[in-house]
């Protein structure tokens, strides 16, 4: 997957990666993840995208976001408001897809390899546009999870696909013996993403015009 002579950029859809890892029954150690790309590729930048709820006095994801921001990641956050769906369940609208698309298209011509941590099929046209700009694109998700599996059209479009479960030994976080004051950015209540609305409406989907992206 990785080549040490390739300029590589990592794009992480935070909510999607969380759901995928949870479905595979492990947590991500972001220090290990960053180290993996730093040692096996010419890593240019690692982006992490997430939304933060505006009306929360305390967000359980804030320790992670702050840790990532100070430890080698480029954080892209957007405010989001909670709402109640028709079943009466509290949901959160995820709206970072456009930000991720803009950043990827801006950098695609300057790097050799783009790695996307997401299984969201809405990114298919984005990957195609990045490929037309000369970048090789790898998608990391899973075909095994019951929670967040990769969309078939995304897997077909990517130059290569890596199942997240194959990276477990390299990037998994130890759960049982983690010190209470561990400096890994995690809050014990890391179920922040459980209420995210992963059903993208038409106006939320990434749409890249084929002519403008050529």
* Residue 29 belongs to domain with CATH number: 3.40.50.1010
pLDDT given at position 58: 63
- The answer to whether residue 106 sits within a structural domain is yes
205, part of any domain: no
Stronger pLDDT, 92 or 125, i.e. the higher one: 125
Residue 27: domain span: 7-174+182-197
Return the higher-pLDDT residue of 166 and 174.
166
In a domain, 71, yes or no: yes
pLDDT > 90 fraction of the chain, expressed in percent and rounded: 62
> Is this structure's pTM higher than 0.85?
no
Q: Are 48 and 68 in contact (CB under 8 A)?
A: yes
Encode pLDDT of 177-186 as tens digits: 444 445 555 5
User: In this model, does residue 187 exceed pLDDT 50?
Assistant: no
CA distances from residue 28 to 52, 170, 173, 181 in whole angstroms, order as listed = 19, 10, 5, 17
Asked whether residue 125 is assigned to any structural domain, the reply reads yes
> Is 206 within a domain?
no
Q: Which of 40-44, 66-70, 111-115, 148-152 has the lowest mean pLDDT?
A: 148-152
Q: Which residues of 145-184 are buried (b: 16+ CB within 10 A; e: fewer)?
A: beebbbbeebbebbeebbbbbebeeebbbeeeeeeeeeeb
> Which stretch of 41-45, 139-143, 146-150 has the lowest confidence by average pLDDT?
146-150
The pLDDT value given to residue 183: 55
- 136 contacts: CB under 8 Å, gap ≥ 6: 6, 112, 113, 114, 159, 160
Does residue 90 surpass a pLDDT of 90? no
Comparison of pLDDT for 145 and 137, the residue scoring more? 137
pLDDT at residue 91 above 60? Answer: yes
Confidence of residue 188 (pLDDT cuts 50, 70, 90): very low
In the chain, the number of structural domains is 1
Q: What is the pLDDT of residue 185?
A: 52
């Amino acid at each position: 997957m990785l080549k040490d002579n390739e300029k590589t950029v990592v794009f992480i859809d935070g909510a999607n990666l969380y759901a995928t890892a949870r479905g595979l029954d492990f947590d991500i150690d972001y220090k290990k993840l960053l180290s993996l790309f730093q040692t096996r590729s010419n890593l240019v930048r690692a982006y992490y995208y997430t939304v933060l709820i505006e009306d929360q006095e305390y967000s359980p994801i804030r320790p992670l976001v702050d840790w990532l921001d100070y430890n080698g990641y480029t954080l892209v956050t957007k405010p989001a408001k909670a709402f109640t769906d028709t079943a009466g369940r509290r949901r959160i609208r995820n709206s970072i897809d456009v930000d991720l698309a803009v950043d990827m298209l801006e950098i695609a011509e300057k790097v050799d390899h783009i790695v996307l941590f997401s299984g969201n099929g809405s990114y298919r046209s984005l990957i195609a546009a990045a490929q037309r700009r000369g970048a090789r694109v790898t998608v990391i998700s899973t075909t095994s999870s019951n929670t967040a599996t990769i969309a078939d059209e995304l897997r077909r479009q990517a130059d290569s696909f890596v199942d997240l479960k194959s990276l477990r030994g390299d990037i998994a976080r130890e759960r049982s013996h983690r010190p209470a004051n561990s400096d890994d950015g995690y809050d014990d209540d890391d179920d922040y993403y459980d209420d995210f609305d992963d059903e993208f409406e038409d106006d939320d989907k990434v749409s890249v015009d084929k002519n403008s992206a050529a």
